[in-house]
A = this chain, B = another copy of it.
Amino acid sequence: MSKKLTKRSEDYSKWYNELVVKADLAENSSVRGCMVIKPYGYAIWEKIQKELDSKFKETGHYNAYFPLFVPKSLFEAEEKNAKGFAKECAIVTHYRLKNDEDNPGKLKVDENSKLEEELIVRPTSEAIIWRTYKNWIQSYRDLPILMNQWANVVRWEMRTRLFLRTAEFLWQEGHTAHSTKDEAISEARLINDLYANFVTNFMAIPVIQGTKSESERFAGAEETYCIEALMQDGKALQAGTSHFLGQNFAKAFDVKFATKDGGLDHVWATSWGVSTRLMGALIMTHGDDNGLVLPPKLAPFQVVVVPIFKSDKDLSKIKSYLNDKIEVLKSMNISVKFDDRNTHSPGFKFNEYDLKGVPIRIAVGSRDIENKTIEIFRRDTSTKNIVSIEKLVEEIDSLIVDIQKNLHEKALKFRKENTFVTDDYEEFKKMISSGGFVLAHWDGSLDTEEKIKKETKATIRCIPEENSEEGKCIVSGKKSTKRVVFAKAY
């Protein structure tokens, strides 16, 4: 396979698909719509998991694990939620295969193993979890429950794309239970803030925070808080959502608690999640025509050393030239890979680590040893720099910080340059068609929202929390109290 990528300007979508495969992040499997997450891609996902998991625990949450399957009778209990997922779910109907007499060596479904009740492979776990909470919650003393699980879920999407939309994906789903409405809303907001901080500071992806319009809400939620990012092709990507579920699930599953003052009330709920979709956001925010570009905080290895050598003797000289420095870097928690393969040329390796987005690449040959220098390449700007070997550690230490910062600034600058404001619907249409976030006044009605979607393919990505401003809806001319964010979206 050629290691050369299609350019973003030629075909953005092709560029994305090629990058995911060539950078060894993921690939399609022999199961329709399901992906294989390859080791390098999975190592990035592990960094995401580890950081998020520690943030959840710091804020009082704990992990548990609930069943993969949801019996149909539970699945359908919360009607809105069920309706939202019914059209795209994998259904288990049998539990045994038997020999196929007509095809020796082959198997077929044993019709005698039909389940009495079908099982849905979880597309999300509110139903199974709230059925469980019913047994856990009797009194206000049992609240809050601040639970999270790391799991796989399945949504039978018809059109799939690696990381962005797959039939099976990995995620975390938080499901909390509270004794008051206010507490549940605070929890949903807390998590949306946590997501925003994580995506901004760890993944170097700027996001807009706010709420969804009613039509874009999670099925079964009363309010959906969200973070939205802008990709390089001008399309929006929903990076995380946190839902205030009101008492909908408590009512569907009859979960009541004895209040402090002796009453009986339904429990208040939230749910929230981010998924392997974040990998798509990462690629499309920072990637360039040479491949992935990783913020140092997400890089499986932050520094790669490519020795330029012809003989084993050359190689061992390079190793002893660098050994001490590498040890110092490792002691500073900077991860370093030394690529001493003699089966591949330095040029091949440079190309490979460009594709994989390794933040810093060091090249060393005999001449560097003579000159007491070293060549440092930073992936984010594709610039080389020759520094004295004595400055190596210091230089890398500051580069790690600088690259993380630079990537965020670059993405923020891109977003600013691609965020537009208009009060005119014709101008709005042009802006939307050329891509980016468009801030415009909206009258709050579903009709207007649908008309805009039909005519421009743009949806309301987010109703920002702050930013109040009097104005008139670009379509209906009716009164509006704030601008909302429109864009075409993934």
Contact = CB atoms under 8 A, between A and B. Distances in A.
A29 interface: yes
A342 B67 CA distance: 34
Interface in A13-67: 27, 29-31, 34-39, 42-43, 45-46, 62-67
A217 interface: no
Interface residues of A, number: 66
Interface in A81-137: 82, 86-98, 105-109, 113, 118-121, 128, 131-132, 135
Given A30-B74, A31-B69, A64-B37, A91 B119 contact: no
Contacts of A109: 91, 93, 118
Contacts of A65: 36-37, 42, 45, 170
Contacts of A97: 72, 75-76, 82, 86-87, 89, 91, 120
B119 A98 contact: no
A139 to B, nearest CB: 10
Contacts of A96: 86-89, 91, 156
B39 A64 contact: yes
Contact of A42 (B38, B63, B118): B63
Q: Helix, strand, loop or mixed for chain A's interface?
A: mixed
A141 interface: yes
Contact of A72 (B71, B107, B152): B107
A45 B62 CA distance: 13
Given A65-B170, A76-B107, A128 B31 contact: yes
Contact of A90 (B62, B71, B92): B92
A21 to B, nearest CB: 11
A355 to B, nearest CB: 17
A70 interface: yes
Nearest to A29: B67
A168 B154 CA distance: 16
B69 A82 contact: no
Copies in the complex: 2
A311 interface: no
A402 interface: no
A395 interface: no
A30 B107 contact: no
Nearest to A170: B65
A68 interface: yes
Contacts of A467: none
A69 B168 contact: yes
Given A36-B67, A63-B42, A64-B37, A119 B90 contact: yes
Contacts of A35: 67
Contacts of A79: 105
Contacts of A120: 97
Given A63-B39, A68-B152, A82-B107, A93 B91 contact: yes
A343 interface: yes
B67 A168 contact: yes
A70 B82 CA distance: 26
A278 to B, nearest CB: 15
Contact of A71 (B30, B64, B68): B30
Contacts of A89: 95-97
Contacts of A118: 109
A473 interface: no
Contacts of A30: 71, 74, 128, 131-132
Contacts of A267: none
A107 to B, nearest CB: 5
Contact of A64 (B38, B70, B131): B38
A147 interface: yes
Nearest to A74: B30
A90 B36 CA distance: 21
Contact of A92 (B46, B70, B92): B92
Contacts of A45: 65
Given A76-B107, A141-B343, 5 more contacts: A31-B128, A42-B65, A43-B62, A75-B107, A90-B95
26 contacts: A30-B74, A36-B65, A36-B132, A39-B62, A39-B63, A39-B147, A42-B62, A42-B64, A43-B62, A45-B65, A46-B63, A69-B90, A69-B168, A72-B107, A75-B107, A76-B106, A82-B97, A82-B107, A86-B96, A86-B97, A89-B97, A91-B95, A93-B93, A93-B109, A109-B118, A121-B121
